[in-house]
């Protein structure tokens, strides 16, 4: 029996927006997705978050982009079709798809609900092994294992939970920084940082934001309820806080000094990097050795079990990202503003209402 052609295996006509070169400019793009397999869920995309990694990818700043590229891995929508062996979902369910849509399902990492660390992990768009297209599009298809239930009381425009949310929730939980009474530092109050603050406060911890932006102090305290705010380039403020933090979530994605942050940690404290920094950092060894401090990295996402747990926790505690909803045809302007950090705190594309209008 002859193998099916690409067109036969991908009969679902899809409309989205794609970048075709390193300018990163997005424009309307027609493509196709696979038919709904027996374990697949097809969904109509209603909202898709704009992640800073989308910006890196469309401009090939990480050196791995294949064009054309359809970004988007913070996807929320409604199920329109399910495969014959799908057990967890039905047509009409609200669902989410995050940063990964496949793994081997048999290795040690997969067995321990750490699919994100699988050697054969399949990312939602611009995968290096097979062509994958993301959520800046009207239709998505994914294996049900990599789809999460979206709680009824959680706004669907809270789509950035599926990346910014899990990226900060996961290390707080994994590294034990989720205990009431602990003192947690958050470096940077942007898309990731404001989510780290919200989760840390929900866990009952004391939170200190460490930032270069004096102008964010009032909002951090009044809007997000942080307990203290440090200007990272003020030596007096930093010195006064030496040895006070149980852990730090560092969300900054540009090169910055690590030594001042390490000094803020208590003995055996943890500095956790979640920002995707393009260039090497200078690593001071003595503060790590002499204080038993730990410098660790956290995955840019989480496993599927933990992602569902995070979404449920967010619904229970009314945790949502602060978002600005934009039309699909505004996305290039949104990305330009993202470069300038001109957003509080995440853009979300209203795909369901504006993608067709953008044609």
What CATH number corresponds to the domain at position 89?
Answer: 3.90.180.10
Domain end among 297, 327, 342 = 297
Query: What are the DSSP E strand ranges found in the chain?
Result: 12-19, 26-33, 40-50, 75-82, 94-97, 100-102, 122-123, 139-143, 148-149, 183-187, 206-211, 228-231, 245-250, 265-273, 294-297, 323-326, 346-350
Whether residue 177 lies inside any domain: the answer is yes
**Domains identified in the chain, total number:** 2
DSSP state of 323: E
One-character DSSP codes across 239-276:
HHTTT-EEEEEE---S---SHHHHHTEEEEEEEEE-S-
Domain that holds residue 13: 6-163+301-358
Whether residue 1 lies inside any domain: the answer is no
Same domain, 140 and 203: no
Same domain, 175 and 288: yes
Q: Are 311 and 96 in contact (CB under 8 A)?
A: yes
User: For every one of its 359 residues, what pLDDT tens digit does the chain have, with 9 covering 90 and above?
Assistant: 556 666 677 889 999 999 999 999 999 999 999 999 999 999 999 999 999 899 999 999 888 999 999 999 999 999 999 999 999 999 999 999 999 999 999 999 999 999 999 999 999 999 988 899 999 999 999 999 999 999 999 999 999 999 999 999 999 999 999 999 999 999 999 999 999 999 999 999 999 999 999 999 999 999 999 999 999 999 999 999 999 999 999 999 888 889 999 999 999 999 999 987 777 888 888 888 888 899 998 877 899 999 999 999 999 999 999 999 999 999 999 999 999 989 999 999 999 999 975 44
């Amino acid at each position: 029996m002859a193998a099916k052609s690409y067109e036969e295996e991908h009969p679902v006509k899809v409309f989205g927006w794609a970048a075709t070169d390193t300018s990163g400019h997005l424009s309307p793009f027609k493509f196709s997705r696979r038919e709904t397999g027996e374990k697949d869920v097809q969904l109509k995309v209603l909202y898709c978050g704009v992640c800073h990694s989308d910006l890196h990818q469309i401009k090939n700043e990480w050196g791995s982009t294949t064009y054309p590229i359809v970004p988007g891995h913070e996807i929320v929508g409604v199920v329109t079709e399910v495969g014959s062996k799908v057990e967890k979902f039905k047509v009409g369910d609200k669902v989410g798809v995050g940063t990964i849509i496949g793994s081997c399902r048999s290795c040690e990492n997969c067995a321990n609900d750490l699919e994100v660390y699988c050697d054969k992990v399949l990312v939602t768009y611009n995968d290096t092994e097979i062509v994958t297209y993301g959520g800046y599009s009207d239709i998505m298809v994914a294996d049900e294992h990599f789809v999460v239930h979206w709680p009824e009381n959680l706004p669907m425009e809270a789509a950035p939970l599926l990346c910014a949310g899990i990226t900060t929730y996961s290390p707080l939980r994994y590294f034990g920084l989720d205990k009431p009474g602990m003192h947690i530092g958050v470096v940077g109050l942007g898309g990731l940082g404001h989510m780290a603050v919200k989760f840390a406060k929900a866990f009952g911890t004391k939170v200190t934001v460490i930032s270069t932006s004096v102008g964010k102090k009032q909002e951090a305290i009044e809007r997000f309820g942080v307990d203290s705010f440090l200007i990272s380039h003020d030596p007096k403020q930093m010195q006064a806080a030496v040895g006070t933090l149980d852990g730090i979530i560092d969300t900054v994605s540009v090169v910055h000094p690590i030594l001042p942050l390490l000094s803020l940690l208590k003995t055996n404290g943890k500095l956790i990097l979640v920002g995707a920094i393009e260039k090497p950092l200078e690593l001071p060894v003595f503060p790590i050795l002499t204080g038993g401090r730990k410098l660790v990295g956290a995955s840019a996402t989480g496993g599927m079990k933990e992602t569902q747990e995070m979404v449920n926790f967010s619904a229970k505690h009314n945790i949502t990202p602060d978002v600005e909803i934009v039309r699909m045809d505004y996305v290039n302007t949104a990305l330009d503003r993202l470069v300038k950090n001109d957003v509080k705190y995440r853009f979300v594309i209203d795909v369901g209402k504006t993608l067709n209008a953008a044609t």
